[in-house]
Amino acid sequence: MARGQDDAGLGTRLRNWARTVRTDAVALSLAVGDRRVPWHAKLAAAVVAAYALSPIDLIPDFIPVLGYLDDVILVPLGILLAVRLIPAPVMEELRVEARARAERPRSRAGALAVVALWVAAAAFLIWAFWPDRAS
């Protein structure tokens, strides 16, 4: 097998793995609200989903190598633990729902509105708490 073909296979496998991790993270966020999921699984799912979907990392991504370590090791291990705590038939239903949500169209106008609200809130806070220059 040629080296280029092997690399393409690896790239495809990595993309599929990342897609599976993302789907499971969304499924875990759905599991938190599902009454069929035991409380200890809900707790694990909530912690893992919050961390996986949060823009804040335990180790910042700008730190070389270590920055991505939590994304590559901690998140998948946490997802694996939480998935094992959820009954298999329930988890499969949650994965189907997560895939359906991923296929929904996204609203750019909605995203723009959310960004505009955050910018407005930040501007207001800066204006409200800016030290008085007259002192």
At 2-56, the pLDDT tens digits run 555 555 688 888 888 888 888 888 898 899 999 999 999 999 988 887 887 777 7
Return the pLDDT at 5: 52
Write the CA distances from 63 to 38, 67, 71, integer angstroms: 37, 5, 13
Q: Which percentage of the chain shows pLDDT scores above 90?
A: 30
Q: What is the pTM of this model?
A: 0.60
Q: What is the pLDDT of residue 36?
A: 94
d(CA 49, CA 40): 14
For the segment 69-78, what is each residue's pLDDT rounded down to a tens digit? 777 788 888 8
